[in-house]
A and B are shown apart, each in its own frame.
Chain A
């Protein structure tokens, strides 16, 4: 009631110009304000702590200037960490997009049991990252009682200890498995908007299955592929759960990417200052990647 009274007694004097924008902003303010706080507060705090020498084991925080950044950039692990981050973005991107395109084309055609097959191909996406990483680690890739080890032994071969000998490959496999459904789903819907008459026209023009795939289907999928690449890049830059559950960044820092590096500095090393500097560094890396993608892809959209 009080509110209603306040609203109705809004000043209507000459200083108040009820333009559309002015009238709308009180209504927009909660949403804009919330988003602003949501984004700005963590960023500001990270920036603040990145200039503090703040170890959780020896509080309080003291201002140290650029010392955290100096420590971060001279860390001998950093090149490897950046490299891992890029590998964990690019390789799963290539794998998921390639597999997504092939599966989308395959699942677009009619065949027996297509409905169930489509459901199954999308299913991995519903499994949360931690769970799928655990399944892969303990049920499939475990060197002693994993399914792959059993298969290797059945063929008389030495089981592969994935997380010791091929830790990056193992993580890439897990991530790709999780994200192929996403790429398939988007590309499958795109396939359904492909004009059948175009394919028929190509057939009359003498295009076989491969040529019409290259000249008609792939160009048609260019845009949705760009969307998939852009969205997946955002998620792949932040991969964390799969590493935590399987390799814990190791052996050494062989599977540590920037998010996991920040975690290990902050919550394993209790060094909030360096972790925050790492966070700022991650933002810069993400922006560099985004810059290239925006230039390459946004033009297409």
Chain B
């Protein structure tokens, strides 16, 4: 059992509150990702778990024991830093064995553990090198190796892939997911990249300005975003969020788009004239006749496997439409737009989901 529990945890820097009460239970062997825009407090939250930042209010429990005042090394955690933070004057083996050396583990045992971790990460050939002689991806591996050697209860990752190039990032993402499976370890991972969050997480915690916006599995967040922030943050390309107002006519409820068009929506418990937001994922929109709305194609982006069509539906409001068709329309065409009503998200005036 290696669970982490946060109980209404808060963090203040002087008068400024950066973490405004976070409750979370990370279960044993779970891969939890903290995601949010920069400055949302996700790294601070991770560092509070690590013990590098004080917890102002609230409790942190690891395996049921309160850890607020336990020193970072005694919490049974290992952390992989964004800059890798390798010790530049030590060899790879020295870096990986440093914690064990400080803990007084005999050299033979230390070497064995370092060698085992190096084998998992394919670092065996590099054990005698210094970090300066390694590539970015190799340094990343050493940083992970340094964490593995300690056999921690929980692994903490602070944006570990953000210094890598795009191709390497995808590769390391896959390797991390595999590592999680192989090590059977509890992992907490911080990123601003929602793709990393979606691909690796068992559960995602979306953070904004120190407040938890939503916690759930990647598909929950994708299918049932709790508010416009999560809706816009999860999913790529971004969900189309269109402002509208409620209007009832002939027993039917419509949304009057800000651009002037009108869409039928299911009944909502809102007054006529109330401002709502319609959320439609680019992949839920179709360019087909019988559509509920129409607009002028303003930009087309060809990605090969998919095509993104930006359609102006009035007043400069662009809808992104994702289609598998390579030549769906031309720029300047007036196209009809339709969608599956079951994939329409409705958000109330306060930005919270309605259904």
Give residues in A with beta carbon < 8 Å to B. Answer: 195, 197-198, 200-207, 211, 215-216, 219-220, 222
Contacts and interface: CB of A to CB of B under 8 A. Distances in A.
A203 B78 CA distance: 10
Nearest to A211: B102
B103 interface: yes
B85 A195 contact: yes
B141 interface: no
A201 B85 contact: yes
Most-contacted residue by chain B among A197, A207, A219, A222 (CB, 10 A): A197
Given A197-B82, A200-B52, A202-B98, A219 B89 contact: yes
The 5 A-B pairs of least Cβ separation, nearest first, read: A206-B73, A197-B85, A205-B99, A201-B85, A219-B89
- Dominant secondary structure at the A interface: helix
B92 to A, nearest CB: 14
A203 B73 contact: yes
Given A204-B77, A205-B73, A205-B98, A195 B52 contact: no
A222 B51 CA distance: 30
A148 to B, nearest CB: 42
Interface in B79-131: 79, 81-83, 85-90, 98-99, 102-103
Nearest to B152: A204
Given A215-B90, A215-B98, 18 more contacts: A197-B82, A197-B85, A200-B72, A200-B81, A201-B86, A202-B87, A202-B98, A203-B52, A204-B51, A204-B99, A205-B98, A205-B99, A205-B102, A205-B150, A207-B98, A207-B102, A215-B87, A219-B87
Nearest to A216: B87
A219 B74 CA distance: 25
Given A211-B102, A215-B98, A204 B78 contact: yes
A223 to B, nearest CB: 10
B87 A198 contact: yes
Given A195-B85, A216-B87, A219-B89, A204 B79 contact: yes
Nearest to A196: B85
A211 B102 CA distance: 8
Contacts of A202: 87, 98
Nearest to A201: B85
B201 interface: no
A222 B78 CA distance: 28
Interface residues of B, number: 24
Contacts of A211: 102
B50 interface: yes
A222 to B, nearest CB: 8
Contact of B72 (A198, A204, A216, A222): A204
A172 B78 CA distance: 48
A194 to B, nearest CB: 10
A198 B85 contact: yes
A195 B84 CA distance: 10
A149 B99 CA distance: 52
A103 B99 CA distance: 28
Q: Which of A204, A206, A216 has the most chain B CB within a 10 Å cutoff?
A: A204
Contacts of B74: 206
Contacts of B89: 219-220, 222
Contacts of A222: 89
Interface string B40-83: 00000000001110000000000000000000111001110111
A130 B252 CA distance: 97
B81 A197 contact: yes
A198 B146 CA distance: 13
Contact of B85 (A200, A219, A220): A200
